[in-house]
Amino acid sequence: MTELQQELFEKQLLSISKGFDYPRTPDIAGSVMRRLRPSPLTPLPLGEGKRRPRFISRRLAWSLTIILILFSSLMLIPPARAAIIEFIQIGVVRIFRAEPTPPNQEIPSVMSPVTATPGPTSQPLIPILESLAGEMTLEEAQKAVDYPILLPSYPPDLGRPDRVFVQDVGGNMVVLVWIDPQQPERVLMSLHFIPNGSWAIDKMKPKLIQETTVNGQRAIWTVGPYPIRFSNGDIDFIRLIDGHVLIWADGNVTYRLETNLPLEEALKIAESLQPIQR
């Protein structure tokens, strides 16, 4: 593009963009000032509530709506009514169980190697990974957190994770992702390290909850699909999980292993975690 062409193009852009129809600018000053000058003793006038800071109210309102819908539908089922208030807490993860589930129910008995082609429930998470913030090398991630990042030594041919993310969720959460070598568009498994003080993670009504142990520590095995809600009071988000998750805590870190593998394999992987070999 010559200078003249660029000049004309710029003039055209300026002219066209002036016609852009922005949404009406909301009352940001009002919301900001209310957040800077909270006055809990002074009730808001009628109608003011809907203009509370959207950062909290809208996110929370929708999350609560979804939870209420789930809750209400469960309350229609008599056995669920008594069990709905039960939850299990492992580290920062709180799992609500909707109904008692007998142990060993629906646990796949067939063991399969971790490098095998995953089952039909494996999720196409690659587009999500591509847009996640905080990707770095394993070494950079280790420098960014004050707890040791552990890697599975089982199965022996698993190798290092293909993708490593560090996300600020009130503490630095590390997410290690292994891509299926046979289906590069699919995630084979992921391992989350969630330090204490991070957002609470609630699971609601997984299809199956089973208590187990990892290295003698209490652990929970859940089978999806189910919604999972991450929250820290200000921000909530919900993800639909269609895989199995093994959750355990050790010291100040909660571990989540997401995989399509059966429990026996997940436990072997969890118990094989070792510090990064240099």
Partner 1 sequence: MDESTLIRHAANGDAAAWEPLVLAHQEAVFRLSYLLLGDPDDAEDIAQETFLRAWKHLKRFDATRPLRPWLLSIASNLASNRRRSAGRYLSALMRAFRNEPGFSSNIEETSVRHLEANDLWKAVRNLSVSDQQIIYLRYFLDLSVTEAAEVLQVAEGTIKSRLSRALERLRGIIQQDFPVLAEKREGSDS
Query: Which residues make up the interface to partner 1 (CB under 8 A)?
Result: 1, 5-6, 8-14, 16-23, 25-26, 28-29, 31-33, 35-37, 53-55, 58-59, 62, 65-66, 128, 131-133, 167, 169, 230, 235-239
Q: Which residues contact 232 (CB under 8 A, 6 or more apart)?
A: 169, 170, 198, 199, 200
| Short-list 195, 188, 222, CA closest to 207 | 222
Ramachandran category for residue 262: left, alpha or beta (phi over 0 → left; psi -120 to 50 → alpha): beta
- Give CA–CA dist 72/64, Å, rounded: 12
In the complex, minimum distance from the CB of residue 181 to partner 1, in angstroms, rounded to a whole number: 26
**3-class DSSP assignment, residue 240:** strand
In the complex with partner 1, the residue whose CB is nearer, 92 or 151, is 92
Nearer to partner 1, 77 or 128 (CB): 128
Is the CB of 51 or the CB of 268 nearer to partner 1? 51
CB of 7 to partner 1, least distance (A): 10
Q: Token match 């699971």: residue?
A: 203
Prior bond to 100 cis, omega within 30?
no
| Residue whose token pair is 């002219």 | 15
Q: Decide whether 88 or 238 has the Cβ nearer to partner 1.
A: 238
Whether the ω angle into residue 206 lies within 30 degrees of 0, i.e. cis, is: no
Nearest one of 185, 180, 35 to 114, comparing CA atoms: 180
Nearest-approach distance from CB 179 to partner 1, in angstroms: 19
Spell out the residues 6+ positions from residue 132 whose beta carbon is closer than 8 angstroms to its own. 165, 167, 175
For 169, counting Cβ atoms within 10 Å of its Cβ (0-12 exposed, 13-18 middle, 19+ buried), the class is buried
Query: Which C-beta is closer to partner 1: that of 13 or that of 75?
Result: 13
Residue 17 CB, nearest approach to partner 1 (Å) = 4
Which residue, 108 or 225, is less far from partner 1 as judged by CB?
225
CB of 19 to partner 1, least distance (A): 4
Closest contact distance (angstroms) between CB of 20 and partner 1 is 4
Q: Which is nearer to partner 1, 4 or 46 (CB)?
A: 4
Instruction: State the nearest-atom distance from the C-beta of 145 to partner 1, in Å.
Output: 18
Distance CA 277, CA 36 (A): 48
